[in-house]
Amino acid sequence: MKKVCLFGGTFDPPHIGHLLVAQTVAEAEHFEKITFVLAHHPPFKNNFSNVEHRLSMLKMAVSGNPNFDISEIELERGGVSFTIDTIKEYKEIEDLKSNEIHYLIGSDSLMNLHKWDRADEILQECQVLVAIRPGFRPSSVPGWVLRQIQFANIPRFEISSTTIRKRWTEDKTIRYMVTQPVWEFINAHNLYSK
């Protein structure tokens, strides 16, 4: 049986936490590959870097790791990136059944999963796999969602893109929070300056 894992996100920027979670999930769940799916236009965010910059940084971040792959499925589709559309399209392209596809999210995203477009369908179309982040409280997630997800058995990592962007605007280093090429790219393009 095939076992595929998609890891969707804005990746603005992709950081060490994303890479550590993806690598440890690949090992813990025995995925051959973790496929990073870059959101073209995330439905719940209005302020993000342009897609070309985010894609360049993601390519730099995952390069050299044979366990990592990037799908540009949402970029090719354009418009607002709805997870349900991505999962259905990916399943059709790769000829996958619902028990063969996993969708990795952080527990911060899980808090709002019930508000996502056709959330109930997402939970039927794939196995949602959740990496727990610090401060997560299951009690704040509706029971119907909790019953249908799987928590990844991995260590917790405390790095976020929001923290990285904030540190950048405060002129604090982000050097060891992202890979060296991504750090240099952010520096060269002055991405997060106000």
108: amino acid identity, one letter:
D
Tens of pLDDT along the chain (194 residues)?
789 999 999 999 999 999 999 999 999 999 989 999 999 998 888 889 999 999 999 999 999 999 999 999 999 999 999 999 999 999 999 999 999 999 999 888 999 999 999 999 999 999 999 998 878 888 999 999 999 999 997 877 778 898 899 988 998 888 788 999 999 999 999 999 87
Nearest to 11 by CA among 33, 39, 34: 39
Domain range summary for the chain, segments of one domain joined by +: 4-157
The pTM assigned to this predicted structure is 0.89
> What is the DSSP-derived secondary structure letter of residue 167?
H
Pairing between β-strand 4-9 and β-strand 101-106 as defined by DSSP bridges: parallel
DSSP string across 9-25: E--SS--HHHHHHHHHH
Q: Cα dist. 41→30, 142, 160 in Å?
A: 30, 26, 19
CA–CA dist 30, 102 (Å, integer): 12
Which one of 3.30.450.70, 3.40.50.620, 2.60.40.10, 3.90.120.10 gives the CATH number of domain 4-157? 3.40.50.620
